[in-house]
Amino acid sequence: MPTFADILVPLLNHLLEHEAWARQRLIPFQAQTACIEGGPVQLTLTVDERGTFQPGKPDETVAVTISLPSDTPFKLLSDPSGVFGAARITGAASFAEALAFVFRNLRWDYEADLAGIFGDIPARRIARLLAEGASWHHSAVQRLGLNAAEFATEEAGLVTSAQDLGRFAREVDQVRDDTARLEKRISKLKA
């Protein structure tokens, strides 16, 4: 049965093959190993002489450890660029910085891969359809959040709305001003 590394390493290398800048950034760290851990998944990667990855061996010394938060799978769906923003990185600073930069900026040109299979025009249409689907997904998640917020404030009364808080603050200010004027009148009457 294939391991997680058997699936992810070829995928990462496929992305790196199309990005010379990323391979150039990793080549100085040849033979260094990084461990990416998140929840039950632990992946060890070693940089080879071409600036691509090989699965790490159990006896290799890890130069960098990247610990991903437990909500990483959900963040990959909603905010892939924000995944490494929440990661905790320890180890060799220059290697960690290079890895973070590469992972943060590495993009999959799926349209080019689809063009190799289906041709240019069908690939363009499929890519556009996928982009529209992703846009719909993002919009649906955003609408769901807005609906949940509206339910919590308007229907269930779990949270006070900003409008109600603003009105309350204005009323408190009015009471404070009225009290100050009343105190002045009382002090004038005593005098």
Block residue for tokens 């005098």 = 191
Measured CA to CA, the distance from residue 124 to residue 119 in angstroms comes to 9
* Whole-prediction pTM: 0.59
Measured CA to CA, the distance from residue 103 to residue 84 in angstroms comes to 8
Block residue for tokens 């610990």 = 67
Mean pLDDT is lowest, of 6-15, 119-128, 142-151, 152-161, for: 152-161
On the 0-12 / 13-18 / 19+ scale of CB atoms within 10 A, 57 is exposed
Write the pLDDT tens digit of every residue in 108-120. 777 777 778 888 8
Dihedral angle over CA of 72, 103, 4, 54, nearest 10:
-160
Every domain of the chain and the residues it spans: 4-105, 110-159, 160-191
Measured CA to CA, the distance from residue 17 to residue 140 in angstroms comes to 34
The CATH number of 4-105, from 3.30.1050.10, 3.40.50.720, 3.40.50.1970, 3.60.110.10, is 3.30.1050.10
On the 0-12 / 13-18 / 19+ scale of CB atoms within 10 A, 157 is exposed
| pLDDT for position 174 | 94
The mean per-residue pLDDT over the stretch 3-29 comes to: 87
Write the pLDDT tens digit of every residue in 67-124. 888 777 666 656 666 666 777 888 888 998 888 888 888 887 777 777 788 888 888 8
- The alpha carbon of residue 57 and the mean position of all alpha carbons in its chain are separated, in whole angstroms, by 29
Q: Which long-range contacts (CB under 8 A, 24 or more apart) does 183-190 make?
A: none
